Structure 1
Amino acid sequence: MNQKPQKEGDSSLPIESKSKELLQLASRTNASDIHFVPLRNQGMIQLRVDGQLHPIEKVPYVFFERLVSHFKFKAGMDIGEKRRPQDGSMDLDLNGTLLHLRLSTLPTAFHESLVIRLLPQSGPAHFESLALFPHSLKGLHSLLNRSSGLILFSGPTGSGKTTIMYSLLQYLQTKDTINILTLEDPVEKKMDLFLQMEVNEKAGITYGEGFKSLLRHDPDVIMIGEIRDEATAKLVIRAGMTGHLVLSTVHAEDALGCLYRLVEFGLSVQEIEQTLLGIVSQRLLSLTCPYCGTRCEPYCFMRRHDKRMGLYELLSESGLEKGMEWIRGNSDRPDGLRTLNYFMKQGMALGFLPMNTLHRWGVDR
């Protein structure tokens, strides 16, 4: 990837102006994060664009420290505490673009490091428009018409699991008048169409306790940010069995791996079979840029469409039945499924994805 040369930052700008300049640059380049990295005698600022970190500039340490303190103050963090990690958040209107910022500090061997996650608050796109191959999600329509059951999503951090769940909830709410409740850690995007609750362990709101509270609030559809333990898994299964449609995520490499994870959580094959409607496994991948070559240069503004799109593997109906037979030990790992690897090969053959995509993101069988 061609990259702009790293430069020494302009430390003559007032802190307020510099902070706004960085946020505008991050927003303009669709960066997901801003990294403030302390070095021995100076600080480096980086942007994560399309999953890749790009050095932007280096600034004198005194200026770097003031910049970090400025963001901490704005986010309601303790600017005097530099020995312990801290978390904070703030909302920002940047030239009409609403952003929710999540801040995280970390004491390091040199000085304090800061990472700012940028979460645009615009409404999610229709779920089929998120996919490089929209037909891969066609089967979701029939699953969403069910009044009860469980739909699971898996993928690495930052692969868009929350985005597609928001999009599906928006689709459900606009299709019918229903009560949709979410339990998230944290709430990434504040939506008007459904009620959102945030995990707060200091206040006793764990995933398990929060989920029990949601069930008492007469929900039709429930979104749980993540199934983390056996207790939450059993609550989710019970909700799916008693007339609720539940969407949640599980850490697994692919759709079949999700089945193993559910068994590891102590669920019986019978419970899974009675409740699970489908599994979506996904990756968010960089597209080949027609102007820059294999990878798009972060300052390329010629191409205004998305530089990354989702690849989705949907396991449902007959495919899910084959997966359950495999989990029982009655058959070999099922072949002939349209897996993530299948769609990666399709994308590479059509020139949408770089030729190293399968090597980098493929699922080992």
Structure 2
Amino acid sequence: MQTIEQLADRLVEDAYILQASDIHIVPRKQDALVQFRLGGMLVTKHVLSKQMCERLLAHFKFLADMDIGERRRPQSGAMEMNVAHTTVHLRLSTLPTIYDESLVIRLLPLHSSLPLKQLALFPSTIKKLLALLNYSHGLMIFTGPTGSGKTTTLYSLLNVCRHHFQRNVITLEDPVEKRAEDVLQVQVNEKAGITYAAGLKAILRHDPDVIMVGEIRDAETARIAVRAALTGHLVLTTMHTKDAVGAIYRLLEFGVPFQEMAQTLVAVTAQRLVQLKCPFCEAECSPFCRQYRPVRRVGVYELLYGSELAQAMRAAKGEQATYVYTRLKDVIKKGIALGFLHEHVIESWLLDEATS
């Protein structure tokens, strides 16, 4: 019979080998489920007894410096493990439920920036993004729902900025999603007084070339990010909006003056992750096929920049303007027509749009 330590190590190792993004431990009335998130879907891997589940949660909480005795309040922690000769950063989150604590473990392999050629469905998108990185100052916003690949895109582009353009890159995140040795990363810590706004002010005094702000959440952060772009820095950040145009309206809601937005906004990108059609499986990929396919999901991008962006800002201001650009729906349809994607991708995307 395997020990709790062996079970914990095996779960993390299996998740890493299968390229799972998360491990979910879900308590039920009589037992508990262990599920892996593979390609955006939850796949059940094990069923544990209540006693085994409690011991496993206590073991992970101990390793992540969390309070083992506290089971009534949500907690978060972090740790690192060596798996298959690779260091994997684990971010843990507990949540009390009606039966017991639930635990979600996010796997973040270190030094895991995705190669640019694997980032997008169409290489032309990457060429446009790299061309936009040549700006010495300005604001680039990446939008999309949680899990749409915004952080992966940002870190891949930051890696290019650091190693190919030789720029000083500083990030401000809550929490730090991926560890990067050659990039200065600042963790938001409101108890210590490091908010997004305070952190950005401090970063501006640290001679950065490129600043990555994890997310624009409030008016103060939006104004400081725009001001940083005005003072000669390239600022990359994220927002939660449905499409690229929505970011313009969100900035206006945050009280960013239209004149400053017009001077700083370089591009807005909306993105989604889509499942590639498997050349071997007719329907859904088996776990074995997932393991041996290095690229299963890629990003599709809606890019708004240049004259079309200027026209979109004019329309947001209430002026008469006409603009046409390639939408996410058009990119997905093109991928289906060329045989890269299943037809159900557009159906699920349209359903998401209708319910959002």
TM bracket, shorter-chain basis: over 0.9
Partner SS for 1:139: helix
Where do 1:112-261 residues align within 5 Å?
112-261=101-250
Name the structure with the higher helix share.
2
Change (3 A) 1:19 1:302: closer
Supply the distance in 2 between the matched residues of 1:287 and 1:265 (Cα, whole angstroms).
37
Structure 1 residue 302 displacement after superposition: 7.0
* Partner of residue 5 from structure 2, selected from 5, 16, 23: 16
Stretches of structure 1 lacking an aligned partner (at least 5 in a row): 1-11
Contact 1:152-1:250 at 8 Å conserved across structures: yes
Q: Deviations over 1:252-304 (max 9, x none)?
A: 11111111111111112221111000011110111121222233223325742
Structure 1 residue 128 displacement after superposition: 4.3
Which position in structure 1 is the counterpart of 2:30?
41
Supply the distance in 2 between the matched residues of 1:284 and 1:294 (Cα, whole angstroms).
18
Which position in structure 1 is the counterpart of 2:326?
338
Which deviates more from structure 2 when the two are superposed, residues 106-115 or residues 344-353?
344-353
Which position in structure 1 is the counterpart of 2:55?
66
| 1:18 partner letter | L
Which position in structure 1 is the counterpart of 2:343?
355
Supply the distance in 1 between the matched residues of 2:153 and 2:336 (Cα, whole angstroms).
23
Supply the distance in 1 between the matched residues of 2:74 and 2:307 (Cα, whole angstroms).
48
| 2:197 partner letter | G
Stretches of structure 2 lacking an aligned partner (at least 5 in a row): none
Change (3 A) 1:271 1:294: farther
Q: In angstroms, what is the RMSD of aligned CA positions?
A: 1.6
TM-score (norm 1): 0.93
* Partner of residue 50 from structure 1, selected from 14, 29, 39: 39
Structure 1 residue 333 displacement after superposition: 6.4
Which position in structure 2 is the counterpart of 1:4?
none
Which deviates more from structure 2 when the two are superposed, residues 120-129 or residues 48-57?
120-129
Contact 2:58-2:68 at 8 Å conserved across structures: yes
Which deviates more from structure 2 when the two are superposed, residues 32-41 or residues 170-179?
170-179
Supply the distance in 2 between the matched residues of 1:333 and 1:198 (Cα, whole angstroms).
41
Which position in structure 2 is the counterpart of 1:7?
none
Q: Does 1:25 align with 2:37?
A: no
Change (3 A) 1:294 1:323: farther
Percent identical among aligned pairs is 49
Q: Deviations over 1:130-189 (max 9, x none)?
A: 001121232223321111110110111111111111111111112233221110111122
Partner SS for 2:180: coil
Contact 1:85-1:104 at 8 Å conserved across structures: yes
